[in-house]
Chains A and B, each alone.
Chain A
């Protein structure tokens, strides 16, 4: 992935390489096996931004759980910088589909969670403030999650991930619950964060335009069990323009892969 490094202006910290090697996974439901991932092989170079697209329920979130190390795969291997992923590690942080903020903690303490768990909160308090400022919620430090709107909660969960300065950032539809305006500004924000910090990013989204606006590569999965259907390079420099005709072509191609060509 030479293009990845070339497209990025001077990253401060390099992200980690991610390799998913021939991974298959299934769940046991009442004794029957429900296959979810079918021989998925995928890699992301350090600092690369990869978007994952696929039909609902095909297994995208499951793949992200394996990358996070929350579950071991039934078959195949996942590697971070060539080392097998054996469990969760704060170098790989996930923004889950639901914000899952801890209701008993204030916004500030929710964002501080990772630093506290790693025992470094005392010296790193400023990082929490910075992360909150980044998502525009400095004024809500002392609010409790039940006092936030859905979009604000999602932003807090983004701040909670970013404060850890991850090597790999795993995003599971992080903008799904935002209104369209906040969504657009958060997309721009994510790109500039990624360019500044240089982490490898894995983004699951249902929004093809979002994938094309953000990612250097778009990977399309089939229906469950998820198989790799296409791996598309988006060779466009940042900042991108939403009206870019090349992106429109790619969008048509991807919607076709997802079986939606007749409807748009």
Chain B
């Protein structure tokens, strides 16, 4: 009986081992299969561009088709490399489902716009129309990006710095709080864009007016959150520092500010979102440059492809700015456990 059960167990063991090995092999093949499928998805996009003549007059259809095949081929190649290299394989597998979906969506987009005309033109331009904007209208776009980044960066940095200093001062000093707090309560909740008409004639240039508005939109959340961060620092930290001989400047710079930093970053994050909105409105209303102005201009000419192209660039920029902010935060707040990954 014991012998039997032992051999039985052994067999069972070998059996499960075999099963697990085949299943892991299957899993590997399936994992790579999705990589190849993603390549095919992009090839399908390339094919969809060549399927039949465009219903409109777009000059970049051939190039977009080639690009679709090239990207599809690159994905397939990466998937093939992934059969040998674990690192590449993992990277491809992680991205493959999204790549497949994007390839298929592009193909569908191509078909319902440029090939079948199911969506009304010119409101829904096909992919090649947007690519055409990037190739043919690049200088103006780049110029707009630079103008926007310059304006945004200047206003945001000023607003963040002023907000931070104000927040620390209110949180630290009762006297400053007495004077600044009512002003903050009165003016802060007002949307910065409400100042737009006044700002544009009160400031010498539309650029300085916009900088002021962006700084205002950034400054309010940064001030409030820095202030609440400083105010909520546990008094036990101050007690410890004071018994160890800390002077007031040490208490501010080495205790209050580091302890408040997580709050400050929430404020910086909220300020960034608010300032984007002000940036676009300011560019549309007054500044004669930047992506907001480009959008406005494109709409005036019914150049819808240009609008989508600019929107895409804008979302990449905003997302990039937030990524950068989170990178800085992760670096400064390594001591916190469980911070949100952006």
A interface, CB within 8 angstroms of B: 65, 68-70, 87-90, 92-94, 96, 98, 100, 102-106, 113-114, 116-118, 144-146, 160, 164
Contacts and interface: CB of A to CB of B under 8 A. Distances in A.
A116 B250 CA distance: 9
Contact of B254 (A87, A89, A92, A116): A116
Contact of A117 (B234, B246, B259, B336): B246
Contacts, number: 71
B244 A160 contact: yes
B52 interface: no
A146 B242 contact: no
Nearest to A147: B337
Contacts of B258: 102, 104-105
Interface of B: 234, 236-237, 239-247, 250, 254-255, 258-259, 261, 333-337
26 contacts: A69-B243, A70-B239, A70-B242, A88-B242, A89-B245, A90-B245, A92-B243, A93-B243, A93-B244, A94-B239, A96-B239, A96-B240, A98-B236, A100-B237, A102-B259, A103-B336, A105-B258, A114-B244, A114-B245, A117-B245, A117-B254, A118-B245, A144-B334, A144-B335, A145-B335, A146-B337
Contacts of B254: 116-117
A171 to B, nearest CB: 12
Contacts of B240: 94, 96, 100, 102, 113, 160
Contacts of A118: 244-245
Contacts of B244: 90, 93, 113-114, 117-118, 160, 164
Given A105-B258, A144-B335, A145-B335, 18 more contacts: A65-B239, A68-B243, A87-B242, A88-B245, A92-B243, A94-B239, A96-B240, A100-B239, A104-B258, A104-B261, A105-B335, A114-B244, A117-B241, A117-B244, A118-B245, A146-B336, A146-B337, A160-B244
Contacts of B245: 88-90, 114, 117-118, 164
Nearest to A164: B244
Contacts of B259: 102, 104
A102 B255 contact: yes
Nearest to B261: A104
A90 B243 contact: yes
A104 B239 contact: no
A219 B339 CA distance: 47
Contacts of B335: 103-106, 144-146
User: Which one of B254, B255, B261, B337 has the highest number of Cβ atoms from chain A below 10 Å of its Cβ?
Assistant: B254
Given A102-B258, A146-B335, A117 B237 contact: no
